[in-house]
Amino acid sequence: MTEIDTEAPVCVTGASGYIAGWIVRYLLEAGHTVHATVRNPAKPSAVAHLERIAAETPGTLHLFAADLNTPGSFDAAVAGCQLVMHTASPFVLSGYRDAESALVRPAVEGTRNVLAAVDRTSSVRRVVLTSSVAAVFGDNIDIRDTPAGVFTEAQWNASSSVRHNPYQYSKAAAERVAWDICARQDRWDLVAINPAMVFGPSLTASSQSGSIDTLVQLGDGRLRDGVPRLSMGVVDVRDVAQAHLLAGFRPDAEGRYILCAGTRTMLQMATNLRSRFGDRYRFPRRELPKSLVWLVGPLKGPVTRRFVTRNVGIPLRFDSGRSKALGIRYREPEKTIAEHFEQAVRDGLLSRDRRAAA
Ligand code: NAP
């Protein structure tokens, strides 16, 4: 049981991010002092929304510059905190050259750097790590190795590597490192949050989160010819943020928490969006045969044949019982996805030019 003094500042790493924005907002609304790390506090697109929220809420915001790749750079932000929420980690699914330097190193060495700062800071009692279901499984087919055909917190992703699903690998490796470091001491405890694919309104239009592009591509014409039968777990960004606060402040929070409101295929998501937004956007209308995706997928994008074989057409199930016991009441995925799409439209991410070019 870990009691956190609510008067002590709370450190949030990667505060400019999609998920972290909501965490910072809820902390400031509740009157906390937040030590928010960003790579560049002078970049308005990274911090303007946080400063605006701070001006409208009872809490206090302090910004700190820190980079996952720079040892020691989190020390100033962690100083005086009892609770550290480590969200910073690259979430990119394509567009990088070298997965090791773009994804794995910042995730793993960044976690080491943040936890080294925690180890050096005697005030810290708890770390909440933003992990992922990617640390639970790598490919949908991994569900066949589970005892009851459902992913629980007991599973670990053992199928990903730097070459195959490097993002998933980065999350599993970073979470393992965090548990190893935590086990070497007994002053602070670790709680891991393992969300499925996160959707829902963003407080910033500048996030590069893979969530946002996954949603936008359903409506911008890139998938107009059809989608693979790919299932994913879905959870609302506001529920993920609330889970961080519950995991941070509930004395009895412990271990890992899968967060998933339900699973949906890409076509189910697109059909939901068409029923609400009509034909203004070029939502896909059909699923492509797996054999076709296997054949042409690698030619059209970063999808590999190994990924297609091990994921397309294979349903997913998650046990989110532990997160419900923690206090999470999940929003309905259809509403989450629709609200997110509406906002992406408002932010100009589905502008007429982009649709015409698609
Ligand atoms: P995001 O908006 O891209 O946020 C990632 C944050 O990491 C950004 O604020 C970015 O800061 C920071 N970052 C990246 N590289 C960094 C570096 N070298 N040094 C310092 N900061 C760095 O993505 P998100 O979706 O909110 O993801 C946040 C966390 O949730 C990640 O750990 C991700 O793996 C996890 N997660 C996300 C999902 C999802 O579906 N979105 C699901 C499960 C888990 P800058 O502003 O400096 O770029």
Q: What is the DSSP string of 223-245?
A: TTT-B---EEEEEEHHHHHHHHH
CB 168, CB 151: distance < 8 Å: no
For ligand 1, the distance from its centroid to the CA atom of residue 220, given in whole angstroms, is 23
Tokens of 304: 């590999």
For ligand 1, the distance from its centroid to the CA atom of residue 38, given in whole angstroms, is 10
Confidence of residue 354 (pLDDT cuts 50, 70, 90): very low
Instruction: Please indicate whether residue 109, judged by its CB atom, sits closer than 6 Å to ligand 1.
Output: no
Confidence of residue 351 (pLDDT cuts 50, 70, 90): low
What pLDDT does residue 30 have? 98
Q: Are strands 262-265 and 231-236 parallel, antiparallel or unpaired?
A: antiparallel
Residue whose CA is closest, atom 15 of ligand 1?
90
Is 171 a residue of the active site? yes
In whole angstroms, give the CA distance from residue 123 to residue 8. 9
What pLDDT does residue 357 have? 43
Mean pLDDT of the residues in the chain: 93
CB 10, CB 34: distance < 8 Å: yes
Q: Three-class SS of residue 328?
A: coil
Instruction: Please indicate whether residue 336, judged by its CB atom, sits closer than 6 Å to ligand 1.
Output: no
Q: At what angle do helices 333-346 and 266-277 cross, to 10 degrees?
A: 60
The architecture (CATH level 2) of 10-198+236-260+317-331 comes to: 3-Layer(aba) Sandwich (3.40)
- Among 262, 264, 289, 277, smallest CA distance to 219 is for 277
Rg (CA), the chain: 20
For ligand 1, the distance from its centroid to the CA atom of residue 214, given in whole angstroms, is 15
Question: Does the structure show a pLDDT above 80 at 297?
Answer: no
Instruction: Please indicate whether residue 69, judged by its CB atom, sits closer than 6 Å to ligand 1.
Output: yes
Instruction: Please indicate whether residue 106, judged by its CB atom, sits closer than 6 Å to ligand 1.
Output: yes
Answer positive or negative: Cα dihedral of 103, 18, 256, 164: negative
What pLDDT does residue 261 have? 98
In whole angstroms, give the CA distance from residue 87 to residue 84. 9
Beta-carbon count within 10 A of 342 CB:
14
Instruction: Please indicate whether residue 89, judged by its CB atom, sits closer than 6 Å to ligand 1.
Output: yes
For ligand 1, the distance from its centroid to the CA atom of residue 296, given in whole angstroms, is 30
Pocket perturbation via mutation, ligand 1, pick of 11, 18, 64, 244 by most ligand atoms within 8 A of CB: 18
For ligand 1, the distance from its centroid to the CA atom of residue 16, given in whole angstroms, is 8
What pLDDT does residue 348 have? 87
* Ligand 1 atom index nearest CA of 68: 19
Tokens of 94: 């394509």
User: Residues 11-23: pLDDT tens digits?
Assistant: 999 999 999 999 9
Question: Does the structure show a pLDDT above 50 at 353?
Answer: no
User: Residues 118-148: pLDDT tens digits?
Assistant: 999 999 999 999 999 999 999 999 999 999 9
In whole angstroms, give the CA distance from residue 158 to residue 328. 28
Q: Are strands 83-86 and 126-130 parallel, antiparallel or unpaired?
A: parallel
Q: Are strands 197-199 and 255-259 parallel, antiparallel or unpaired?
A: unpaired
Domain ranges of the chain: 10-198+236-260+317-331
User: Residues 213-260: pLDDT tens digits?
Assistant: 888 999 998 888 999 999 999 999 999 999 999 999 999 999 999 999
What pLDDT does residue 279 have? 85
Task: Report the percentage of the chain scoring pLDDT > 90.
Answer: 82
What pLDDT does residue 299 have? 65
Compute the average pLDDT of residues 28-36: 98
Task: List, in sequence order, the alpha helices (H) in 217-346.
Answer: 237-249, 266-277, 290-300, 305-311, 321-326, 333-346
Answer positive or negative: Cα dihedral of 329, 332, 337, 340: negative
User: Residues 167-197: pLDDT tens digits?
Assistant: 999 999 999 999 999 999 999 999 999 999 9
Confidence of residue 94 (pLDDT cuts 50, 70, 90): confident
φ, ψ at 63 (rounded to 5°): -100, 140
Contacts of 180 (CB under 8 A, 6+ apart): none
In whole angstroms, give the CA distance from residue 250 to residue 83. 11
What pLDDT does residue 352 have? 46
> Angle at CA 160, nearest 5°, toward 103 and 242?
65
Residue whose CA is closest, atom 4 of ligand 1?
17
Residue with tokens 């629980």: 152
Instruction: Please indicate whether residue 14, judged by its CB atom, sits closer than 6 Å to ligand 1.
Output: yes
In whole angstroms, give the CA distance from residue 79 to residue 9. 9
Q: In what order do the strands lie in the sheet with 60-65?
A: 60-65, 33-38, 10-13, 83-86, 126-130, 189-195, 255-259
